[in-house]
Amino acid sequence: MRFPGRPQIVRDVRIYAAHWLVMALPEAADDENLLENLRLLVTELAANAIKHTMSGRWKHGSFRVRLWLGADRIRIEVVDQGWWSGPRLCDDPFETSGRGLQILAAVATKWGVRRRWFGRTVWFELPVQAPAAADIANVPHRYHAQEPHQELEERTA
């Protein structure tokens, strides 16, 4: 799903991601911890895309949110119009902002960055209790797991 790079859209991204998960995996509706982690992390990445890249600085800027359901995990990607350089972790304990990637590293099972010619993808994974393989076959096609591209950088919590 493509979103305009405007700060007020972050709420819609959070709602979209949580709705997608519950539609793809109805059991997730009962897992408030999973839903809160998903909302928190997708909010951080969407806000970073808007604040730190052309996605939010350019009047026609936008970013995409892509989601996959696997047998034991979900994967969320935020594709922004960032530059070739990767996101930076804030190391200064006296800074009042810049902790989003530290939160991502602490909460996600895995996360990483894939650079593109014009932009980058920041992704994360969270564990899920997926239904049996036979049940996954009944999930609509757009929710099927697909193997994402090979990552240039990957971090494991």
Sequence ranges of the domains in the chain: 2-156
The Cα 88–Cα 130 span in angstroms is 33
Confidence at residue 87, expressed as pLDDT on a 0 to 100 scale: 57
Closest CA to 145 of 112, 80, 128: 128
Find all residues with CB under 8 Å of 38, minimum gap 6, and list them. Answer: 17, 18, 21, 74, 76, 126
CATH architecture of the domain formed by 2-156 = 2-Layer Sandwich (3.30)
Contact of 90 with 98, CB cutoff 8 Å: yes
Instruction: Burial-class residue 69 by CB neighbours within 10 Å (0-12, 13-18, 19+).
Output: buried
Q: Could you read off the pLDDT tens digit of each residue along the chain, which spans 157 residues?
A: 889 888 999 999 999 999 999 999 999 999 999 999 999 999 999 998 898 887 777 888 899 999 999 889 999 999 898 775 555 555 555 554 556 778 888 999 999 988 877 788 999 999 998 664 434 444 444 444 444 444 444 554 4
